[in-house]
Structure 1
Amino acid sequence: MELRHLRYFVAVAEELSFTAAAGRLGISQPPLSQQIKDLEDELGTALFERTSRRVELTAAGAGLLEQARAILIQAEQAALQTRAIGSGQVGLINIGTTGSVLLGSLAELIAAFGERHPGVVVRIHEMGPLEQQTALLNHRIDISFIRRPRHEPNLITELAWHENVGVVLPEAHPLARYRQLPLSALKDQNLVFLRLSDSRFARYLQDCCIEAGFMPRISHEVVESYSLTSLVAAGLGVALVPESVKRLSRPGVLYRPLKSPTPIADVEMMYRPDRSEVVERLVRLARNVLNPVA
């Protein structure tokens, strides 16, 4: 039984005339009659009582009519849903990121995307950088926003937005009186740092310190950038952080930008080459909203 058979059957059942049904369907009457006969042969029962003067539904035909209408409605809904998913109007997108990246422009991007595509469900998954790349390759997430990602030839990487690195220090710290600091000013300071074993971004910051003439004196390590401010507030040291972390308001803690050459905390977006139309729409929006100059 094909959908074509059901459409033809419903037309005849509603018109109770093969001639009128053929006109409604835009076909000639003989093929229509043959299709109805084929359907009856397949089902093993008559669907219509035909006389020279009228066409009426049999009991079996009346029983099929309600189900045929429901099937055709479901088929049309499925077609509409499929086209909407294929065009990126509806669907699901899984985003991998870290909490500190959400402090930046990602939250605004997700909000803007939701306004433009209300039919798309967005799920955020907080996970470490290496876990994000593995999840992308395993199709557990669709796109990742990450700092200093490891090169992966099977993934596409491009700039999402630019961000500088600054320093967070206690309000009473001697360096707090300066509006801007050179990185070398942190030479003799205890630093609370991202965990070097987990973060390529942390290792990059360590290299920046070495280039500035000193090995950072790391007192404590954490997983997330926003956790650093808590340690700074407790007086355990100063911290190098992405500038978006300054959005975290915490009493007794100040943010100061670094003088040039300034370490960068750029956020990259990573996705698979076989991305869906939904992901492609998010990528295009990110290019236009977050990094319009690129």
Structure 2
Amino acid sequence: MDPFSNHKPDYYSRHLFTSLIPVKANRTIRIMREVISNRLSAISIRDLLLVEAVARQGSFRQAAGAMGISTSGLSHQIRKVEDILGADIFERGARVTLTTSGRVVLEAIAATLESVTRLEALRNRLAMPFGAVLRIGVITSLAPGDLVRLVETCRRHSPQTRIEIVSGKHHGLLRRLQDREIDLMITAGNDFPSGLTQAELVREGFALLVNPAIGVPDLSRLASCKPDLLPISEDDFVPEQIATGFGALINASLTRAFGLSAEHRIALVSAGYGHALLPKGWVRNSGPHDMTTLVGLPAALSDERTLRCIWRNSFAIGAEVAALFHAELNIAAG
């Protein structure tokens, strides 16, 4: 009879035994990994691609041409792989064919290359979650600082993505979006056809940029002060409440001007050619320029436009990009 058959190990013995199991297992795994690494470290991904090319072409010469390597160089690399694996992969002859071992090796190589492909796709998704290129259309009245914020947001979240910016009028950008020339657009317009999705980004008010040299208007007595107001750009998307209130007061000497950009109006105000309504994003980003000051609008003429992001329904990451833009612009707006 085994003298130890009735012996029950105490707590410490049991604990020591069970604690050694993961240690032995981890050590075994580590040793196996080291052996595998030492044996296979000399085989590169390109070597695997070369083996696959020879199997596909059935010829060293044709495979070498397809892979951009000399025939002798290809033969040397294949022989290296065979030496490391310890088995011939190909039978050399008039036509190169796989050996029995070679067929097994090729299946393993195919599985490895598939894993490498998935790993490369993962790398691309991590570095370029917005894709290789993101094409953004923006209306001309988007404040420069807001445009920079949107680009910087893309850079932070998808550093390897190339950003392309197209600036234009609302309807021109809509056409480009429908024609797949851009991926999404930033606008203050609220008319868009079917097949497109929109998300609100931020609401933005207006202010009056004036030149004190030609008098600061008292907007509380708008009807009597009649400021020399420069024409409003159609791409400003000025709310109807403001446009109606100021519409009859556009009496500057340049009333025949059409589609003046915000930059042009700022320059004209600085030169003393009238006053200009501007989206507050322009004021927030740059503040008053030389020879100019800001006048707030009275409550009766205060309203806001809504900046929106619009994309095609088929653009899979549209909602994700819009959510990031929404967060960034609202932080800036305070």
Q: TM-score, normalised by structure 1?
A: 0.66
- Aligned counterparts of 1:230 and 1:77: Cα–Cα separation in 2: 57
**Hey, what does 1:45 align to over in structure 2?**
96
Decide whether aligned partners of structure 1 residues 291 and 274 sit closer, same or farther in structure 2, where only a CA change above 3 A counts: farther
- Aligned counterparts of 1:186 and 1:227: Cα–Cα separation in 2: 27
Q: Which residue type is aligned with residue 139 of structure 2?
A: T
Structure 1: 5+ residue stretches without partners = 19-32, 58-64
- Aligned counterparts of 1:122 and 1:241: Cα–Cα separation in 2: 27
1:217 aligns with 2:250: yes
Aligned match for 1:227, one of 246, 249, 264: 264
The Cα shift of 1:139 comes to 0.9
Q: Which residue type is aligned with residue 232 of structure 1?
A: V
Aligned match for 1:152, one of 193, 216, 219: 193
Alignment map for 1:81-160 (pairs within 5 Å): 81-85=120-124, 88-89=128-129, 90-160=131-201
The Cα shift of 1:153 comes to 2.3
| More relative contact order, 1 or 2 (CA 8 Å, 6+ apart) | 1
Q: Among all aligned residue pairs of Structure 1 and Structure 2, give the percentage whose two residues are the same amino acid.
A: 16
Decide whether aligned partners of structure 1 residues 260 and 77 sit closer, same or farther in structure 2, where only a CA change above 3 A counts: farther
Q: Which residue type is aligned with residue 307 of structure 2?
A: V
Q: Is 2:231–2:250's contact at 8 Å kept on the other side of the alignment? A: no
Deviations 1:155-180 (Å, cap 9, x if unpaired)? Answer: 1122111210111110234326x6xx
1:208 aligns with 2:242: yes
Deviations 1:169-203 (Å, cap 9, x if unpaired)? Answer: 10234326x6xx4594686223212344xx3715x
Aligned match for 2:326, one of 281, 287, 292: 287
Q: Which residue type is aligned with residue 142 of structure 2?
A: V
**Hey, what does 1:245 align to over in structure 2?**
282
Decide whether aligned partners of structure 1 residues 104 and 46 sit closer, same or farther in structure 2, where only a CA change above 3 A counts: closer
- Aligned counterparts of 1:99 and 1:80: Cα–Cα separation in 2: 41
Could you say what the CA RMSD is over the residues aligned between the two structures, in angstroms? Answer: 4.2
The Cα shift of 1:228 comes to 1.1
Q: Is 2:138–2:168's contact at 8 Å kept on the other side of the alignment? A: yes
**Hey, what does 1:166 align to over in structure 2?**
207
**Hey, what does 2:232 align to over in structure 1?**
194
Decide whether aligned partners of structure 1 residues 232 and 74 sit closer, same or farther in structure 2, where only a CA change above 3 A counts: farther
- Aligned counterparts of 1:78 and 1:224: Cα–Cα separation in 2: 48
The Cα shift of 1:225 comes to 2.0
**Hey, what does 2:39 align to over in structure 1?**
none
Deviates more, 1:265-274 or 1:145-154: 145-154
Q: Is 1:170–1:235's contact at 8 Å kept on the other side of the alignment? A: yes
Q: Which residue type is aligned with residue 226 of structure 2?
A: D
Report the number of matched residues: 247
More strand by share: 1
- Aligned counterparts of 2:315 and 2:168: Cα–Cα separation in 1: 20
Decide whether aligned partners of structure 1 residues 236 and 123 sit closer, same or farther in structure 2, where only a CA change above 3 A counts: same
- Aligned counterparts of 2:308 and 2:151: Cα–Cα separation in 1: 15
- Aligned counterparts of 1:282 and 1:77: Cα–Cα separation in 2: 28
Structure 2: 5+ residue stretches without partners = 1-48, 56-77
Aligned match for 2:308, one of 247, 262, 268: 268
